[in-house]
Amino acid sequence: MSRLDSFIRRLTAQRDILNAIVELVDGREGPVLEFGLGNGRTYDHLREQFPDRRIIAFDREVRSYSSSTPPAENMVTGDIRQSGQDFLGIGAALAHADIGTGHDDIDAITLTWLPQLMEGVLAPGGIAVSGLPLERDALEPLPLPPGIKEGRYFIYRRR
């Protein structure tokens, strides 16, 4: 598979999952956390899916399109490993992390802290969506929507 095919499949998986989890999140209290704003594509999609909810985005710095940039009070800059700690216990209904790099050595370091952070920011019953696997007893893996290959993206419910 070419890198272009792989990229298209990853974005398709993201979109299909972010659409599929809406019904799991609706009816739950709490904000949405977007770890890895990037250029704001998935932030913009989340904003469409959850128009009445606070969405807090995180990245090292703001590099998103101006139309997909959160208001200053909902934008947290810096390394998520540290900046995310201030949000432990916030009771998020949904946390989405798109901070994998495709480089195993870098992602292995991210995986030393991301699963705990995702568990810690979610309310019980809250949903985690991640491009990297989150192995935590408190995070129950959920099935992917039809058509998405196992291991491409991951969904969990906080027990």
Applying CB under 6 A, the residues found at the interface with ligand SAM are 36, 38-42, 59-60, 79-81, 98-99
Smallest gap, in angstroms, from Cβ of residue 73 to ligand SAM?
Answer: 18
State which residue, 68 or 125, has the beta carbon closest to ligand SAM. 68
Whether residue 96 contacts residue 42, with contact meaning beta carbons closer than 8 Å, is answered with: yes
Smallest gap, in angstroms, from Cβ of residue 136 to ligand SAM?
Answer: 18
**DSSP code per residue over 78-129:** S-HHHHGGGGTT--EEEEEE----S-HHHHHHHTTTHHHHHHHHEEEEEEEE
Smallest gap, in angstroms, from Cβ of residue 133 to ligand SAM?
Answer: 16
Whether residue 113 contacts residue 135, with contact meaning beta carbons closer than 8 Å, is answered with: no
State which residue, 10 or 125, has the beta carbon closest to ligand SAM. 10
Smallest gap, in angstroms, from Cβ of residue 15 to ligand SAM?
Answer: 10
State which residue, 53 or 96, has the beta carbon closest to ligand SAM. 96
State which residue, 88 or 124, has the beta carbon closest to ligand SAM. 88
**How far apart, in whole angstroms, are the C-alpha atoms of residue 100 and residue 110?**
8
**How far apart, in whole angstroms, are the C-alpha atoms of residue 59 and residue 44?**
15
